[in-house]
Copies of this chain bind each other. A is one copy, B any other.
Amino acid sequence: MPFTVNAGDFYCWTEQTDLRGKKKMTEQKEPTTMRSLERAIDVLEVLEDAARPLRLVDIAGRAGLHVATTQRILGVLEGRGRVEKDGMNYRAGVNLIFGAHAYLTTSPLVAASRPVLQELAERTGLTASLFVRTGAHRAVVARVHGSRPLRYELPIGAKLPLHLGAGKTLAADLGPEELRHLLDQVGPMRDAEGREISPEIFRSDLEKIRKQGFQVALNERKLGSLSVSAPVRSTQSGAVVAAITIGAASEDVSPDEIEGLTIEVRRAASAVTVP
């Protein structure tokens, strides 16, 4: 059988586990079916990552596209309610919420996790969350508050780093190749206390998490916060598909309470059965 290159070969290297995301950094201009669609998604991602409205040139610049092209794309997206524009400012549009709703209601992972998170939050009194990795980040995908809720809000849909806090539980399962990509992308790493994290320390952290099967993080992503995380594995492949985390203000949790929490979280994570 002759070797041929198929559409899927490019954007799906290692299934959904590829880390690319920001193409500009690695500058790999891979051939693509549907350039215009890829570009439209680039534009959308710019708007999604910006916490504020942006102007045309700004979007074009960040997406690395010609202004005319960007404008045309934004025009179509606006006509479809996926972008909103007042004056010269573009923002994400209402219709984007339907996609999130569809994901949250159809994802088997989310469905399987909900009751588990519920019980975990009840038993520990802390906020229980489910994270999923996408590219070099993670997303909050489900969350149940306990009786001692967090002081700060971490809403569903928040995009968080892979290299801090519970993110490391997801990063721990990356292959050596993917891990290098991640390190390249994030550049110099430092935690919420300002401490620099060397690649060596980072790698050994991941190694430890992999061995232990759970993770305790203090003041990593957010000062004054404590989290305990464990990986959710695919029943079939054994690959890490998500992480379950309980989070709290660090003064709400006594040190001798932590061991019990790790047991709870590990049990919850393994209780999630996902195809």
Is the CB of A223 closer than 8 A to any CB of chain B? no
Give the bracket for the number of chain A residues in contact with chain B.
35 or more
The residues of B that contact A78 with a CB separation of less than 8 Å are 11-12, 16
Known: A11-B76, A75-B11, A96-B100. A106 touches B51 (CB 8 A): yes
- Pairwise interchain contact A84-B97, C-beta atoms closer than 8 A: no
Residues of A participating in the B interface, judged by any CB pair closer than 8 Å: 7-8, 10-12, 16, 32-34, 36-38, 40-41, 44-45, 47-53, 72-73, 75-82, 84, 86, 91-107, 132, 134-135, 139, 141, 155-159, 275
Contacts A8-B75, A41-B76, A97-B156 known; 16 new A-B pairs at CB < 8 A: A7-B75, A34-B36, A34-B73, A37-B37, A37-B77, A49-B98, A50-B102, A51-B105, A86-B275, A92-B100, A93-B103, A95-B139, A97-B99, A97-B139, A101-B155, A101-B158
User: Can you list 29 A-B pairs, Cβ within 8 angstroms, ordered by A?
Assistant: A7-B76, A8-B75, A11-B75, A11-B80, A12-B79, A34-B40, A34-B72, A37-B37, A38-B80, A41-B76, A41-B80, A48-B102, A49-B102, A52-B106, A53-B106, A81-B134, A91-B103, A91-B106, A92-B100, A92-B106, A94-B107, A94-B139, A95-B139, A96-B96, A96-B102, A97-B100, A97-B104, A101-B158, A104-B155
